[in-house]
């Protein structure tokens, strides 16, 4: 609670901590909101947290029009002018407040307008519940080597602060290069900026097995809620998407597209959705993106040092192994050719063996494999995973490697 603030005080550390630890911030904007230093300081802190922690932010325009806040006109301008008089000597703070007002007004929020208050309250609850329950966070990679720079490049191309148009970008590259992993990382990074979002995985496989109608229904149901959307044919699905989603700001990912029909029947040219919508496509086929006039971004193989680091983390749980393993690492580098998935598989394969293979080896040496393995598992010195692979405790690994060396 901030009701104990006295004149001249800044927002308390407890309130800052509360903002930082929240999953969602609901900002109730009124005509007098910008006349309060503390409200504006809180607003700046919320928007800062949105960028660093990617929390969900929902602005509610209660008795003020969003355009008044965005352009700082009428009552908002008058109230802010009065407040600014007290901070003539602190131009940086005043400029920061102005920027925060414009930024929050550009977010997808809710405007009371002609709603009655009980209905407005119910809609707020529904929106918050939907956001918190349905918000999808993808596990990207155990060791996200090289992903951060790609995400920054993609965010720059997506230009998510531009509210005047939609944007489609295609991520292309060879198989196993990490296109889907990158798409998931971007989705995690910017999902909170959008009113609604949808990640359609395995487009190629799904369209072949279940048809495009299934994907159209999945998109509509994900955005509008419920599973009773009736679509009898692809053309009806197109019409329904255009009619029902044309005003919604949406973040949409189409993963593993391999035919132009999939784009034409699910997203069109991108103008089937509300302004500021962003559509990300992953594909192996650059020509498909060119044909559809989609801006493209190529994911290239990892350079030697990043590939070496990724392999080492998966094989040795650190970024640089002992020099004794140089030959095996170089062999892995040559085989994987900078592709993240082979590097991950090769690295991980040095940490475990199939239980049947281990059993045969132990039995052939005259030992009792079943009782021995079970005893080691009981002592938590080895573990058996669902894929029937046995993995040894890290300390035993290090000791054994040292003995072998």
Helix (H, G, I), strand (E, B) or coil at 172: strand
Cβ atoms of 319 and 309 within 8 Å: the answer is yes
Cβ atoms of 244 and 224 within 8 Å: the answer is yes
Question: Where does 116-233 have alpha helices with state H?
Answer: 117-134, 147-158, 179-190, 203-210, 212-224
State how far the Cα of 157 lies from the Cα of 169, in Å rounded to an integer.
8
Report the 10 Å Cβ neighbour count for 220.
Answer: 20
DSSP state of 342: H
Instruction: Map tokens 């602060």 to a residue.
Output: 161
Please name every residue paired with 298 in a beta bridge, in sequence order, or none if there are none: 172
State how far the Cα of 30 lies from the Cα of 75, in Å rounded to an integer.
10
Q: What's the longest Cα–Cα distance across the chain?
A: 90
Cβ atoms of 32 and 38 within 8 Å: the answer is no
State how far the Cα of 159 lies from the Cα of 363, in Å rounded to an integer.
62
Closest Cα partner for 168 from 23, 39, 297? 297
Cβ atoms of 64 and 29 within 8 Å: the answer is yes
User: Catalytic residue positions?
Assistant: 42
State how far the Cα of 329 lies from the Cα of 13, in Å rounded to an integer.
49
Length of the chain: 405
């Amino acid at each position: 609670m901030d009701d104990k603030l006295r004149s001249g005080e800044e927002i308390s550390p407890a309130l800052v901590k509360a903002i930082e630890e929240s999953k969602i911030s609901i900002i109730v904007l009124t005509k007098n909101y910008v006349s309060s230093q503390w409200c504006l300081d809180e607003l700046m802190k919320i928007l800062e947290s949105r960028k660093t922690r990617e929390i969900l932010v929902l602005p509610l325009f209660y008795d003020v029009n969003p355009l008044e806040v965005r352009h700082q006109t009428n009552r908002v301008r008058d109230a802010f002018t009065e407040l600014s008089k007290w901070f003539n000597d602190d131009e940086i703070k005043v400029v920061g407040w102005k920027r925060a007002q414009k930024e929050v007004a550009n977010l997808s929020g809710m405007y009371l307008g002609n709603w009655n208050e009980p209905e407005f309250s119910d809609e707020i609850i529904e929106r918050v519940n939907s956001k918190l329950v349905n918000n999808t966070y993808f596990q990207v990679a155990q060791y996200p080597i090289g992903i951060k720079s790609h995400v920054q490049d993609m965010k720059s191309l997506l230009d998510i602060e531009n509210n005047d148009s939609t944007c489609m970008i295609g991520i292309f590259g060879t198989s196993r290069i990490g296109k889907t992993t990158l798409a998931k990382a971007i989705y995690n990074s910017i999902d909170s900026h959008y009113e609604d979002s949808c990640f359609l995985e395995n487009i190629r496989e799904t369209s072949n097995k279940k048809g495009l109608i299934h994907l159209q229904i999945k998109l509509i149901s994900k955005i509008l809620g419920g599973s009773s959307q009736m679509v009898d044919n692809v053309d009806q699905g197109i019409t329904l998407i255009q009619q029902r989603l044309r005003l919604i700001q949406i973040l949409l990912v189409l993963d593993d597209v391999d035919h132009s029909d999939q784009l034409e029947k699910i997203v069109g040219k991108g103008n089937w959705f509300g302004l500021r919508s962003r559509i990300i496509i992953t594909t192996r086929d650059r020509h498909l993106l060119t044909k559809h006039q989609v801006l493209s971004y190529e994911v290239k193989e990892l350079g030697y040092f990043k590939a070496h680091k990724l392999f080492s983390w998966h094989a040795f749980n650190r970024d640089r192994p002992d020099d004794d393993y140089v030959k095996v690492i170089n062999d892995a580098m040559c085989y994987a050719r900078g592709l993240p998935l082979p590097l991950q598989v090769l690295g991980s394969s040095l940490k475990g063996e199939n239980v049947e293979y281990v059993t045969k080896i132990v039995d052939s040496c005259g030992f009792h494999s079943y009782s021995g393995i079970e005893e080691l598992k009981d002592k938590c010195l080895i573990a058996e995973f669902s894929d029937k692979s046995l993995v040894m405790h890290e300390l035993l690994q290090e000791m054994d490697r040292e003995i072998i060396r």
